[in-house]
Amino acid sequence: MDWHYIREKLRPIAEGLFGKQRITRYEKPHYKIRELDYMLANLVRIPALEWRNYAFSREPLNGKFNDEQRLNWAAKSIECGESYAQRLISEYGTSDAKLLASKLALEVLYPQYPDKTDRVLFADFTMPNKINIFMDAVYRAERLLQKRSVKRVLTENLQLVNIILSHEIFHFIEERYKHEIFTRTERVRLWSLGFLHNDSGIYALGEIAAMSFARTLNDLAYSPYVMDMFLIYDYSAEDASGLYEEMMQLAGLEP
């Protein structure tokens, strides 16, 4: 008698009786799966300013803004990121993110939590000086970088950790210069009622500037926003393809 066969047959009954409660998950939308190098080749051609709609689509206050405001703010944020990158390079004499982090006395950790949901976390910055780079996404992307066609599009000596770290360093810089830096001083009036009013900062400006900062520091020919798609491709080619479609559409291009 084949014991394995019997066990397989009995499994549904055993799971019904002793199986864990099933956790309800929602059905994710489905997308046409595309080749990674095809998507990368198209995304690296998007000019920095054309990423603004994608950046603002993650902005909680986006519904309050018009296209003109988005364009104006995106241009200023890109300039802000570039100028602070130049300032740091000349001040500390290096454009290497790891070296810069140590000179700025940042505590950088590299946790390795596996990631598997529809929100993949690459890194976080916690006040006053702690940065986590979540290595699961990095390792997966580094495996993809072994492909020649991918390497050709993203440049030969791509340092993923440095790009991510640079982005987070900018958030540290934002805190340090919060009274003068554009991404923090720019505010928008949400509502006013007589003398009462509520002014708010705009989250997306910091993100756009951080991408521009990382781009300048790492001397990239394309926006690091490309990493959003690239770093999740190994988790789910379908989710990455969906994100690619969204990025292209928001940049006004045909996916």
Partner 1 sequence: MDFAIGVILLLTFFALAWYCIKGFNLMIGFLVITILWTVLPLFGTLFVSEEFLKANPVLMFEGGKGLVAILNRIYQSAPEGWGTTLVNVCWGAWFGRVLMDTGIASTLIRKTVELGGDKPVVTISLLNLVTALIFTSMTGAGPVIAIGVIVLPILMSLGVPKAIAMFSFMGAVASGIYLNPVNFAQYRAFFIKPSDMPDFTLGWYASHWGYAALAIMLVVTTLLAMFYLGRAKTHRQWAAQTRTPQAAQKDAPIYTLILPVVPVILNIAFNFSVIGGFVIAGFSALFLCGRMSGTFRENCQLVNKLYYEGVVDTAPLVGFLLTLPMFNAVAVYASPYFNVVIGGIMPKSELVVCVVFAVLLFMGLFRGPMTLVGCGAATLGVLSNVAKFSVPFLYGVFAIPTITVNIGCCITQSWVAWGLAYTKVESRDFLKLSIPNAYATGILQYAAVYLFLTGLGSAWMVG
Q: How far is the CB of 147 from partner 1 (least distance, A)?
A: 20
Nearest-angstrom CA–CA distance, 140 and 229: 13
- Burial-class residue 212 by CB neighbours within 10 Å (0-12, 13-18, 19+): buried
One of 11, 118, 148, 149 touching partner 1 (CB under 8 A): 118
**Do 7 and 211 touch, CB atoms closer than 8 A?**
no
Angle between helices 135-144 and 160-176 (to 10 degrees): 140
Window contacting partner 1 (CB under 8 A); options: 18-26, 69-77, 85-93, 141-149: 18-26
Residue 51 per-residue DSSP state: G
One of 7, 71, 93, 113 touching partner 1 (CB under 8 A): 113
Measured from the CB atom, is 93 or 230 closer to partner 1?
230
Q: H helices within 22-117, ranges in order?
A: 36-43, 52-57, 67-92, 97-103
Footprint (CB under 8 A) of partner 1, residues 141-160: none
Q: How far is the CB of 174 from partner 1 (least distance, A)?
A: 8
Nearest-angstrom CA–CA distance, 67 and 41: 27
Asked if 138 is part of the footprint of partner 1 (rule: CB under 8 A), the reply reads no
One of 171, 183, 215, 216 touching partner 1 (CB under 8 A): 171
Asked if 18 is part of the footprint of partner 1 (rule: CB under 8 A), the reply reads yes
Asked if 119 is part of the footprint of partner 1 (rule: CB under 8 A), the reply reads yes
Asked if 120 is part of the footprint of partner 1 (rule: CB under 8 A), the reply reads yes
Q: Could you tell me the two tokens for 188?
A: 């928008």
Asked if 139 is part of the footprint of partner 1 (rule: CB under 8 A), the reply reads no
- ∠ CA 241-171-49, nearest 5°, is 50
Q: Could you tell me the two tokens for 192?
A: 């006013």
Window contacting partner 1 (CB under 8 A); options: 4-12, 73-81, 99-107, 186-194: 186-194
Question: If we measure between CA atoms, which residue out of 204, 227, 201 comes closest to residue 214?
Answer: 227
Q: For binding to partner 1 (CB under 8 A), which residues are involved?
A: 16-26, 28-29, 31, 57-61, 63-64, 113, 115-128, 164, 167-168, 171, 175, 188, 190-191, 198-203, 206-207, 210, 227-229, 231-232, 236, 239, 242-243, 245-246
